[in-house]
Amino acid sequence: MKKRGLATRAAHAGGGGPPLGPAGERSHNLPLYLTSNFSYPDSASADRAAEGEAYLYSRHANPTTEAFERAIADLEGGEMAVAFGSGMAAVAAATFALSAGGELLVSESLYGGSTELLRDLGPRHGITPRFVPAWETERVRAALTPATKAILVETISNPMLRIPDLPALGALARERGVALIVDSTFAPCLIQALAHGATVVVHSASKYIGGHGDIIAGVTVGDRPTMAQVATFRKLVGAVMDPLSAWLAVRGLRTLPLRIERQCATAARIADVLATLPNVKKVIYPGRTDHPDHARGKTLLTAPGAMVSFELPDGPAARRFFDRVQVIARAASLGEVASLLTHPPSFSHKALSAEERARFGITDGLLRLSVGLEDPADLEEDVRQALAS
């Protein structure tokens, strides 16, 4: 059967429930199985659950969570997905499962929490992280050694919005027999990284996928053998996504293509407005021709994302702007229906040293805007007034 379009598949994400009554009627919406346990009619059926052939306990598997996993696997074009209690748990599971006992090449432009995880906990758990400018494939190639087990990048990086050359990295990873782990949190449904050679795609579903700022969740997608490894890690660490969050994430998924399309369009408009305003030293948006990865983004992504970073002259100017916004909310995260503004040196990248921040281009004047679904004119007016005076 012909594969239907992304928006159609998203609108039907999760499906409905099993037949309920004599007419075959069923819940049109996804049922929420808010249960820790599953019970059995007899010992033979309990034995089947213990053998892994049936539901046993929601830390192992739950039907609502599985519906979310199937929907994400479908959107990413992967065989199987494994859902987690947070994006960080998903990043940890993928990196620990695929690079333990070896080296992990880590992009220098990454969410600060991921950098901190691998820099601080990696070596204690048998992973040697080495930081590389992942958007320069030749630098990645030069950094590979026989001990390298995996490479970790973000499709659009946090907060510098760098876009690595995924097809080239995918080919390099295949050639050298290492795993390529791609965090696509900033580009949900803008790219299918597995088709470009990623071994595993990771998302923080707390962001665009949930979309409403009401869950903390994560997910990994890949082939069955790799996901089986990641699922074992999840089961034993207990970093599982809860069924209520899975249900909310499925609801979020249904509008994801529509939200992201509108958010990307508004982000492009706000980026262009910011570029005309006095005191804005630099606008960082992959949709603009002055972005270093503009051409690559145009080839790889269906749209340049809905995150806009920009630099004001210094820390005090950034803090003043932060204090003055009225429509945009001051908050740490991103990807929800409301626009959110963060100051990366004070929030997402606070745990990095001043030297690391400088090396990764995160200046004190840097702000990161997650563009939401408000009327674009109101957002435009908000950034104008926050910069005036």
Mind telling me the catalytic residues? 59, 111, 183, 207
- Piece in contact with ligand PLP (CB under 6 A), picked from 107-115, 252-260, 263-271, 311-319: 107-115
Q: Go through 231-258 and write b for each residue having 16 or more CB atoms within 10 A of its CB, e for each that does not.
A: bebbeeeebbbbbebbbbbbbbbbbbbe
> How far is the C-alpha of 126 from the C-alpha of 123, rounded, in Å?
5
Query: Is 257 a residue that touches ligand PLP (CB under 6 A)?
Result: no
Structure tokens at 289: 């021709």
- Piece in contact with ligand PLP (CB under 6 A), picked from 85-93, 172-180, 262-270, 315-323: 85-93
Task: Point out which residues pair with 209 in neighbouring strands.
Answer: none
Task: Point out which residues pair with 180 in neighbouring strands.
Answer: 151
When CB distances to ligand PLP are compared, the closest residue is 87
The distance of closest approach from Cβ of residue 234 to ligand PLP in the complex, given in angstroms and rounded to an integer, is 14
Looking at the Cβ atoms of 72 and 280, the one nearer to ligand PLP is 72
Looking at the Cβ atoms of 87 and 372, the one nearer to ligand PLP is 87
Residues 6+ apart with CB under 8 A from 336: 207, 208, 210, 211, 212, 213, 370, 372
Structure tokens at 5: 């379009």
Looking at the Cβ atoms of 200 and 317, the one nearer to ligand PLP is 200
Query: Is 183 a residue that touches ligand PLP (CB under 6 A)?
Result: yes
Query: Is 206 a residue that touches ligand PLP (CB under 6 A)?
Result: yes
Query: Is 306 a residue that touches ligand PLP (CB under 6 A)?
Result: no
Query: Is 245 a residue that touches ligand PLP (CB under 6 A)?
Result: no
Would you give the distance in Å from CA 71 to the centre of its chain? 15
- Piece in contact with ligand PLP (CB under 6 A), picked from 73-81, 106-114, 139-147, 246-254: 106-114
Residue 291 near residue 285 (C-beta atoms within 8 A)? yes
> How far is the C-alpha of 92 from the C-alpha of 230, rounded, in Å?
10
Query: Is 88 a residue that touches ligand PLP (CB under 6 A)?
Result: yes
Query: Is 113 a residue that touches ligand PLP (CB under 6 A)?
Result: yes
Q: Site size for ligand PLP, by CB under 6 A?
A: 17
Query: Is 148 a residue that touches ligand PLP (CB under 6 A)?
Result: no
State the DSSP string of 311-375.
E-SSHHHHHHHHHH-SSSEE-S---SSS-EEE-TTTTTTTTS-HHHHHHTT--TTEEEEE--SS-
81, 150, 201, 216: residue in contact with ligand PLP (rule CB under 6 A)? 216
The H or E element spanning position 310 is: strand 307-311
Query: Is 154 a residue that touches ligand PLP (CB under 6 A)?
Result: yes
The distance of closest approach from Cβ of residue 348 to ligand PLP in the complex, given in angstroms and rounded to an integer, is 6
Residue 4: Cβ within 10 Å count: 11
Query: Is 204 a residue that touches ligand PLP (CB under 6 A)?
Result: yes
Query: Is 109 a residue that touches ligand PLP (CB under 6 A)?
Result: no
* Omega within 30 of 0 (cis) for the link into 159: yes
58, 109, 185, 199: residue in contact with ligand PLP (rule CB under 6 A)? 185
55, 96, 111, 233: residue in contact with ligand PLP (rule CB under 6 A)? 111
Residue 136 near residue 162 (C-beta atoms within 8 A)? no
Query: Is 215 a residue that touches ligand PLP (CB under 6 A)?
Result: no
Query: Is 91 a residue that touches ligand PLP (CB under 6 A)?
Result: yes
φ, ψ (nearest 5 deg) of residue 228? -65, -40
> Which residues of the chain form contacts with ligand PLP (CB under 6 A)?
86-88, 91, 111, 113-114, 154, 158, 183, 185, 204, 206, 216, 218, 333, 348
